[in-house]
Amino acid sequence: MADQHPDTTAITAGRDESGSLAPVLWPSTTWQSTGLDESNAAAVAVHETGNYARYANPTVREFENAVAALESAEDALATSSGMGAIATAIFALCSTGDHIVAQKQLYGGTLALLNGPCKRLGIDVSFVDGSTPGTFASAVRPGKTMLVIAETPSNPQLALTNLDEIGAIKGPYTMVDSTLATPLGQSPLRHGVSLVMHSATKGIAGHNDAMLGVLAGEKDLIDAIWSYSVLHGATASATDALNGLRGIRTLGVRFARQCDTALKVARELESNPGVRRVNYPGLESHPQHALAKSQMRGFGTVLSFEIMGGVDKARALMNKLAIVRPAVSLGGPETLICHPATSTHVSMSPEDQQSAGINDGLLRLSIGLEDTSDVIADLQHALQ
């Protein structure tokens, strides 16, 4: 049904013709043809299965179809990681001499890619404050800018970018990293954005057992990126795609439960005297709460908070936790905590960290599926 709820789409999408209710694993890397003519047809086909798994695999294709359906996209392309998706999109669309506009508030790996390989290859990058209206459009250089990159909510500051503003930019392609929102939290393509990207390792797969990235958008654009991706080689594995499909089936209930817990935890932290600031779009105190309500169906499963005492206090807190686990991923069934300045964003200089709002007292929480009261009690005990 065209107007069905995304929770229903998560159950109905990405199924083959076999009638199997469980995802079907195709582990093969190579398929036999009937002869020269069929081999030639497969060699020149675009994003088709039945030839070689670097080009397409049936299990991976079903995962791509499921994400495309969830994002209201014509097609999708899976990769071996979120960074694989970002790198594939950038190098498929940009060449030496081109220009990229990106926000300062980005995942550390994305910033490292833009500041390292991209600049080394002669791709110029301008960084803007993604939460300030008008900054993306004003930084675009007509005829030069090939790609605009936004991440909303951002990792780990939970700052938002206005999706309508990104979608209204004319000329360059626009790409939104929507990992923290998941396809159930928001729909960037419905705002006019060219590409939506996810580290599907996180909330989409949701069980810490799949390494996946995915891009979704118009078929012609996905086909063009696919043509580069087979050379780039960041190919998604069939096993990870199967686990990603399994995760999509429970995404609706997981996302709803985790969002509910995240808001309750954020409110408890906000009232704790040892916490200086809490970053979560669902809080009324979030400076972009109104924007979050206008463009998000759910406020997400990740929050961050700043404690007084810097890195020493952060270390002591993390060492005292019993249920919340120190780890750098997000979106899984376990509640995880990390210290971005020394982990996910450690590749950034201290100056760049400060510019991006990452200080020694900032901690990121990925909310899991434990009982909410137990998570809150564990954090309160560690904060004493």
Q: Choosing from 55, 75, 104, 177, which is the catalytic residue? A: 177
Instruction: Render 164-198 in DSSP notation, one character per residue.
Output: HHHHT--SSEEEEE-TTTHHHH--GGGGT-SEEEE
pLDDT digits (tens, 9 = 90+) for 30-59: 999 999 999 999 999 999 999 999 999 999
Q: Choosing from 7, 15, 16, 54, which is the catalytic residue? A: 54
- Dihedrals phi, psi of 76, to nearest 5 degrees: -145, 160
pLDDT digits (tens, 9 = 90+) for 244-295: 999 999 999 999 999 999 999 999 999 999 999 999 999 999 999 999 999 9
Measured CA angle at 332 (ends 329, 333), to 5 deg: 140
Which residue stretches of the chain have pLDDT < 50?
none
304: DSSP letter: E
Catalytic residue list contains 315: no
What pLDDT is attached to residue 358? 85
> What residue ranges of the chain are covered by domains with CATH 3.40.640.10?
6-249
pTM (predicted TM-score): 0.96
Q: Choosing from 202, 249, 254, 364, which is the catalytic residue? A: 202
The 3-state DSSP class for residue 226 equals helix
CATH 3.90.1150.10 describes domain 252-383? yes
What does each C-alpha distance from 195 to 125, 147, 175, 270, 364 come to in angstroms? 19, 10, 5, 35, 26
> What residue ranges of the chain are covered by domains with CATH 3.90.1150.10?
252-383
What pLDDT is attached to residue 2? 65
Q: Choosing from 55, 107, 173, 280, which is the catalytic residue? A: 107
Measured CA angle at 147 (ends 141, 153), to 5 deg: 115
The pairing of beta strand 195-198 with beta strand 75-79 = unpaired
Catalytic residue list contains 312: no
Contact criterion met (CB below 8 Å) for 232 and 121: no
Catalytic residue list contains 104: no
CATH 3.40.640.10 describes domain 6-249? yes
